[in-house]
Structure 1
Amino acid sequence: MPYRMQLFVDISTLLKPLADYAEILLHIKKTLSAEMSPIIVVGASYGGMLAAWFRLKYPHIALGEVASSAPILYFDNITPSNAYYDLVSKDFRDYLEFMYTGAAQYDDPQEYPVNKACEGIDGDSEGTYTLGRIFSGIVALRGENSCHDTCSEMVSPIGIGKNETMFQADPFYLTEYRDSCNKSFGVDIRVVLKRFGSNIIFSNGHRDPCSSAGVLENISDNIIAVTTKNSSHCLDIQPATEDDPEWLVMQRKIEMDMVHDWFLKYSADLLQN
């Protein structure tokens, strides 16, 4: 009879899936007779947040952790609610400028892209907000290609402040969010962020909107921030290719060198004991 682990059925909180991961990892180490082998947990975006919390809660299981593009600081009173959309606006500003100035500069009589864009903008129904009209203009030019944890454990107060981004205002209101959670799930919100621990790498690219809530500066000597100017979301943990730019290759090398140092220290500690 193969070994069967009794995993938690109810995954309505963050603690239970973390406990499941812990149980699985311990089982794998025991099955492979690898109890003394170190484990590095890796996660991207939300998974990076889980990986960081796993390292904090189970430091005896995970030797270290690499969190790529983890918006772990997107909590009330830490990161402004509209920070994500501020970066989105900056990323798209140059693109939109290129699209519309290009249409004006190369207004080919056979296609008249300016007319196309204007027809798309003017064709929207009355009351369409500005971003919707801009999108309609782009579609006319280029064509169109066709959770419970957020209430019970983790709240990222992402909102859009009035006139602060290119998006229609949609502020985050904690009271309304809490009432919605209570109505849907019968639970209130518990926001907990503990910044302690060791052997954690937070990697972020400044082009990624999630970096607005990422750890961009070292917290301690062994909770390290690795940042790059041009990287996008979770790019550093994507498969390497021959066309990768040098800065991306160096970012990965920095992260792997840190992990290697963790292994060396772990091995040295084993020899001393």
Structure 2
Amino acid sequence: MKISLVILINLSIFFLLIDGLKIQNHHHHQHHLSLTQPLSLKYSNFQVKYFQQKVDHFSYSNNDTFEQRYIISTEHWKSPNGPIWFYAGNEGDIFTFANNTGFMWDNAKKFSAMIIFMEHRYYGESMPYGKKSMQNLSMAGYLTVEQALADYADFIVDIHMTINGARSSPVVIMGGSYGGMLAAWFRIKYPHLCVGALAASAPILQFPDIYDCEGYNRIATKDFTNYSPKCSESIRRSWSAIRRLAKTYDGRKFLSEQFQLCEEFPEQLVQTLIDWIANIWGTLPMIDYPNPADFLSKLPAYPIKVVCQYLTEPDSNDKQLIQSIAKAISVYTNYTGDTECNKINESNDRLGTNAWDFQACTEMVLPECSNGVDDMFEPEKWTFDEFSAGCRQKYGINSDRYKALIMFGGKHISHTATNIIFSNGLRDPWSAGGVLETLSDTLIAIKIPGACHHEDLRSQGPNDPKILLEAREQELQIIGDWLQSYYKQNQIEFKF
């Protein structure tokens, strides 16, 4: 199956190339390079702990347990019954999300809130069966959204029961990308365990039959075009140039040198090179933040603007065009100058690509396609049957086309759901699958023009535009209203 890796996701939410099988499925947070530096937390006054969690919440045939990691800070929490801000961990090491969700750390003192970041099962250190967790279906099969939400439910009840003074503490659940989907779904599934959810950049509508699969790549392309039409046109023309150069040994050597690959590559891997490059172009629109950041790679402020400075001559000959493309790519791969060479077959362990690939094949089926006309990528169709066939080949499973929509409602959540904020930066390609219109008095859509992927969850920075600051204030106001209402009317004391 031919594929392009043009964004996930990492949540997510998420196109992957794993073990040689090419399965089409972009999710946030999958589109980046291997990051090997050790993880630490840039905030202080926290503890890292482990919770003994059930592997299976829904039957009595498997009584196995595992240690689920979480980060907790009670520095600003006031007992009794101060609020708990709970981050629904998504597809990666929990430290990555804790470091990039400054919104919670910045505002906890104002709300006297306890902060908890819980790691999603099968990611980071929270592996139910250790290194064997993804080895076969009998071990990997417990990696589902339902199990993950049940993890958070059991843990939240335990916090109420075991932390002195927390018996009636209201919980606000937050998340970005796939974590934002989990936050919204947790509020829908377990409304008695949280007063509301902040679901940032949560593409809960990016599922088969309700989503235009070209949406992501159209927005990604527009982000480049808005800096310069010549920028996106250079990228659009580069694919055929790469393919022409890859037909000869000298051309492949040239490509290897320009992109600083760790080794020369045979002609049959040209698709892998194209996927690697497309992956980067698909990732940058998520993280074109106004301040320097290191979420997926160390980058300057507005990295696409820096990239486009190199892409000014789309009419160049093949070698000149690729030289400019390579310089532009290096903004992502080697902005600090520390990268010795690039391995195009490696994925980002920090964002758990193997586990996400499995989830994308089972119930997180997020269609992505391109036509090469309304976007700058090579044409790539998406069909459910072809996608599911790839998953069957890889895991021996059929993709569950409608499961997420059946479980959580898709477009039909306004009948019963309450107290969810859906925030979306409109330059974020994942917003194409997000909730962009307010559905009821308590299902609020906050659109942030100019913002990227869960930018509102990041720490306030010196270059943050006014509209982003106002969006954060609106979110805090709504959260404050939820808490005020809870304390006045709806306190729940957990005694079970």
Aligned-pair identity (%): 33
Matched, 1:28 2:214: no
| Amino acid in structure 1 at the alignment position of 2:369 | G
Equivalent in the alignment of 2:149: 18
Aligned to 1:152: 362
Q: Aligned in 2, Cα 1:182/1:246: closer, same or farther, shift over 3 Å?
A: same
Q: Which residue of 460, 465, 483 corresponds with 1:245?
A: 465
SS for the counterpart of 2:197 is strand
Q: d(CA) in 1 for partners of 2:433 and 2:453?
A: 13
Q: CA deviation at 1:189?
A: 2.3
The 1-side partners of 2:151 and 2:449 are apart by 36
Corresponding position of 1:167: 377
- After superposition, give the CA deviation of every residue in 1:26-72 in whole Å (9 maximum; x if it has no partner): 11121113121110111001110111111111111111100111111
For residues 453 and 232 of structure 2, what CA distance do their matches in structure 1 show?
26
Note if contact 1:71-1:213 (Cα within 8 Å) is conserved in structure 2: yes
In our comparison, the structure showing a higher alpha carbon Rg is: 1
Q: Name the amino acid aligned to 1:78.
A: I
Question: 1:4: how far off?
Answer: 5.8
The aligned counterpart of 1:186 is: 396
Superposed, 1:40-119 pairs within 5 Å as 40-97=172-229
- Are residue 126 (structure 1) and residue 239 (structure 2) matched? no
Q: How far does the alpha carbon of each residue in 1:250-273 deviate from its partner, in whole angstroms, 9 at most, with x for none?
A: 100101111111111111214799
CA–CA distance in structure 2, aligned partners of residues 168 and 46 of structure 1: 26
Determine which of 430, 437, 452 is the counterpart of 1:217: 437
Using a 3 Å threshold, how does the CA distance of structure 1 residues 44 and 26 change in structure 2: closer, same or farther? same
CA distance in 2: counterparts of 1:24 and 1:6, whole angstroms: 8
d(CA) in 1 for partners of 2:468, 2:175: 18
Q: 2:322 aligns with which of 116, 131, 136?
A: 136
TM-superposed deviation, 1:7: 2.5
Distance 1:4 1:84 in 2: 37
Deviation track 1:103-133 (CA, whole Å, cap 9, x = no partner) reads xxxxxxxxxxxxxxxxx9997451779x989
Task: Note if contact 2:197-2:419 (Cα within 8 Å) is conserved in structure 1.
Answer: yes
Distance of aligned partners of 1:180 and 1:121 in 2 relative to their CA distance in 1, 3 Å threshold: closer
Cα distance between partner residues in 2 of 1:203 and 1:70: 8
**Aligned-pair distance for 1:158?**
1.0
TM-superposed CA distance for 1:81, in Å, is: 0.4
TM-score calculated relative to the size of structure 1:
0.82
Q: For the structure 1 residues 180 and 248, does the alpha-carbon distance in structure 2 shift closer, same or farther, using more than 3 Å as the test?
A: same
Q: CA deviation at 1:95?
A: 3.0
The amino acid across from 2:145 in the alignment is L
Q: Which is further off, 132-141 or 85-94?
A: 132-141
> Which digits, 9 at most, give the CA deviation of each residue in 1:138-177, with x for residues without a partner?
3366573432111221211111135331110011110011
The TM-score, its normalising length taken from structure 2, stands at: 0.47
Q: In 1, Cα distance between the equivalents of 2:239 and 2:369?
A: 26
Counterpart of 1:67, as a letter, is A
Letter in 1 for 2:479: V
8 Å CA contact 2:195, 2:482 repeated in 1 = yes
Gaps of 5+ in 2: 1-48, 56-127, 129-140, 247-273, 279-310, 315-320, 334-356
Matched, 1:203 2:423: yes
**Alpha-carbon distance in 2 for matches of 1:16, 1:36:** 25
Note the residue ranges of structure 1 that are not aligned, 5 or more in a row. 102-119
Task: Flag the structure with higher helix content.
Answer: 1
Aligned-residue Cα RMSD (Å) equals: 3.2
